[in-house]
Amino acid sequence: MRKSFLAALSVLTVLGVSACSEKATENLENAGSAIGNDMSNAVDQAGDRIDNGLDHAGNAIDEGTDRMGTTMDNASRDAARTARDAKHDMGAAMERAGNDMKKD
């Protein structure tokens, strides 16, 4: 009887260790899966942040380029107006000089 009791206890122990081993394996798999998911989420978030940063940088460059274009257009108009005014002033000065020469 004692031998059969020990045999039964041995079988239960093996089954218990086997069950623990399966639980441990399952827990390890779950932990590995959770770590993998966390890493994947962290990489996705980093990618999103990089993408958003690049979008903001691109928008800032576009806005800066637009402002530069507007400034250059304004400067070009101012230069053309100044050239017209200088041409007009030069013509008026030459006309006055010609009139002064007629008087002399």
**Is residue 89 predicted with pLDDT exceeding 90?**
no
- Quick one: pLDDT at residue 3? 58
Q: Which residue has the tokens 């800032």?
A: 60
Strand, coil or helix: 104: coil
How is residue 1 annotated by DSSP? -
Q: Which of 32, 34, 53 is nearest to 42 (CA)?
A: 34
**Is residue 7 predicted with pLDDT exceeding 80?**
no
pLDDT band at 91 (very low <50, low <70, confident <90, very high): confident
Q: What is the pLDDT of residues 29-79, one digit of tens each?
A: 777 788 778 888 888 999 999 999 999 999 999 999 999 999 999 999 999
Q: What is the pLDDT of residues 15-39, one digit of tens each?
A: 555 556 677 667 767 777 887 788 8
